[in-house]
Amino acid sequence: MELIFLGTTAAIPTSSRGHSAIAIKYGDEIILWDCGEGTQRQLITSKTSYMRINKIFITHFHGDHLLGLPGLIQTMAFAGRSEDLHIYAPHGIKDQMDRILGIGEYTLSFKIRIHEIFHGYEVEGKGYKIKAIRVEHSIPCFGLVFEEKKGRVFLVEKAKALGIKPGPMYKKLQRGEKVKIGERWIYPEDVLGEKKKGIKIVYSSDTRPCENVIRSCENSILIHDSTFDHDLLENAIENYHSTCVEAANVAREGKARKLFLTHISPRYKTVEKLLSQAREVFRNVEVAEDLMRIKLKSKDFER
């Protein structure tokens, strides 16, 4: 799977950073997390097919996370899309969509399915689930947790001890079915250990450092609000954002695998200060850049 940063600026774009959007390529599917203005162009530039997007999550209703939606939908329609498009967003999305769909003249060629998210809301996909967690911003805002669905570890030694031979019986048990050895039934629970770890990505969206993100980000790729460097802590507090050091603290406390700083204020022409301040707290940190691609493999998350 692949994680693609499409837009990494805060509020106002720069020549190198567009408005917030993250694409997650998993299997045949592309999932979009936020859709700031210009997202369709970033998708095209990064050769990420907008026609394969079936789920779009909007974390909150600030324009820099939302205003790419009308254009992306109209371009999908222009290109003749017919599949349903699912939009997941906070309460109020129905009214927002009425207005979004009412701008400009075009013919909508597909159905839009609207889903209101709340803290704990989960969407199941093919091989993954995505959960919404409430974060702390100036308006209702949700972080997002992507988790690969993984089976449980197969305890080979235990299976052998029970007299089961490798082959079809192993598969049955792994699928959750019982098998018979002589007169005795063997149940999946007898040979399955703890749940395997899979790919996990946590996106804080716009937020102050908060417990819900800390509690969700263990062993994850954490993408965290880092609008300001830590000398500008007051600005971060006032605007309900985080500094790079606060983001690093969340990653450290929550035991994330890796941290990407994003939502970078346009005031930063270079990212060295953000990076060096964060690195003092959490080593495995990078600053997200537009069009940056991160390839992720399940086995890297198994530890």
Interacting residue with its own copies among 3, 19, 227, 274 (CB under 8 A): 19
Residue found by looking up tokens 């959960």 in the block: 131
Q: What is the DSSP letter of 213?
A: H
* Residue 68 touching its own copies (CB under 8 A): yes
CA distance 62 to 132: 17
Interacting residue with its own copies among 27, 45, 109, 280 (CB under 8 A): 45
Decide: 293 and 44 in contact? Cβ < 8 Å.
Answer: no
Decide: 34 and 21 in contact? Cβ < 8 Å.
Answer: yes
Interacting residue with its own copies among 2, 29, 41, 190 (CB under 8 A): 41
3-state DSSP call for residue 5? strand
Radius of gyration of the chain (CA): 22
**Applying CB under 8 A, which part among 10-18, 119-127, 182-190, 214-222 lies near its own copies?**
10-18
Interacting residue with its own copies among 2, 29, 75, 116 (CB under 8 A): 75
Decide: 275 and 287 in contact? Cβ < 8 Å.
Answer: yes
Interacting residue with its own copies among 2, 11, 29, 253 (CB under 8 A): 11
Please identify, using beta-carbon distances, which residue of 70 and 198 lies nearer to its own copies.
70
Decide: 288 and 223 in contact? Cβ < 8 Å.
Answer: yes
CB of 280: closest distance to its own copies in angstroms?
A: 32
Residues in binding contact with its own copies, number by CB under 8 A:
38
What are the CA-CA distances from residue 121 to residues 12, 57, 116, 216, 289 (Å)?
A: 30, 12, 9, 14, 29
Amino acid at 132: A
Please identify, using beta-carbon distances, which residue of 78 and 187 lies nearer to its own copies.
78
| Catalytic site residue from 34, 64, 206, 229 | 64
Q: Which of residues 83-122 bind its own copies (CB under 8 A)?
A: 95-96, 98-100, 102-106
Residue found by looking up tokens 């400009």 in the block: 104
* Residue 137 touching its own copies (CB under 8 A): no
Decide: 210 and 244 in contact? Cβ < 8 Å.
Answer: no
* Residue 74 touching its own copies (CB under 8 A): yes
Is 64 one of the annotated active-site residues of the chain? yes
**Applying CB under 8 A, which part among 9-17, 166-174, 201-209, 253-261 lies near its own copies?**
9-17
CB of 44: closest distance to its own copies in angstroms?
A: 6
Beta bridge partners of 260: 223, 286
3-state DSSP call for residue 228? strand
Q: Of all helices (H) and strands (E), which one includes residue 184?
A: strand 184-186
Please identify, using beta-carbon distances, which residue of 95 and 300 lies nearer to its own copies.
95
Work out the number of other CB atoms within 10 angstroms of the CB of residue 278.
28
CB of 66: closest distance to its own copies in angstroms?
A: 5
Q: Which residues are catalytic?
A: 64
Q: State the residues that interact with its own copies by CB under 8 A.
A: 11-15, 18-19, 37-38, 40-41, 44-45, 60-64, 66-68, 70-71, 74-75, 78-79, 95-96, 98-100, 102-106, 139
